[in-house]
Structure 1
């Protein structure tokens, strides 16, 4: 690797506000906000909207989409294919 061209790779905390969970990992991101972690050290913190703690795929809480309403709205907008025929 060339020296002085790569960003610093250090421990950071990613905090999921919606699930009230935090993860300590390593990243090159920088932040002005910090948090004191469970080990007593201070790390930069990044707030994220969604993570594995709150994503429906990982939690098993799938949302049911209103597909019937979407189809009806499409048919109102563009008409039925059989009516055009």
Structure 2
């Protein structure tokens, strides 16, 4: 096996600025900024715009698409589906 083939894998804090939430994980990402974590150690911190704490799908605030309303509006505008205009 070749040595030094893989990038450095280390602990990093990802901070979601929108939700004010931070979590410690392992990653190959690098950052010049650091933060002191709850365990008293200093880790690199990477600011992200969205995470599972602020994403609408995970928070349950996702919009549902009103497909039935769209179909009814289409049929009103362009005539009902399956109408026979020859009779």
TM-score normalised over the length of structure 2: 0.70
Give the Cα–Cα distance (whole angstroms) in 1 for the partners of residues 6 and 41 of structure 2. 24
Unaligned runs of 5+ in 1: 69-79
Name the CA distance, whole Å, in 1 between partners of 2:46 and 2:63.
Answer: 27
- Taking the aligned partners of 2:19 and 2:34, their CA distance within structure 1 comes to 19
Counterpart of 2:37 in structure 1 is: 37
Q: Give TM-score, length-normalised by structure 1.
A: 0.72
**What runs of 5+ residues in structure 2 fail to find an aligned partner?**
70-76, 80-87
Tell me the number of residue pairs that the alignment of Structure 1 and Structure 2 aligns.
74
Per-residue Cα deviation, 1:41-67 (whole angstroms, up to 9, x for no partner): 0000000010000001110011467xx
Partners of 1:17 and 1:48 lie apart in 2 by 6
- 1:57 is paired with a residue whose SS is helix
Distance in 1 of aligned mates of 2:22 and 2:50: 11
More helix by share: 1
SS of 2:57's equivalent?
A: helix
Q: Displaced runs of 4+ in structure 1, greater than 3 A? A: none
| 1:73 matched residue in structure 2 | none
Superposition CA RMSD, Å: 2.6
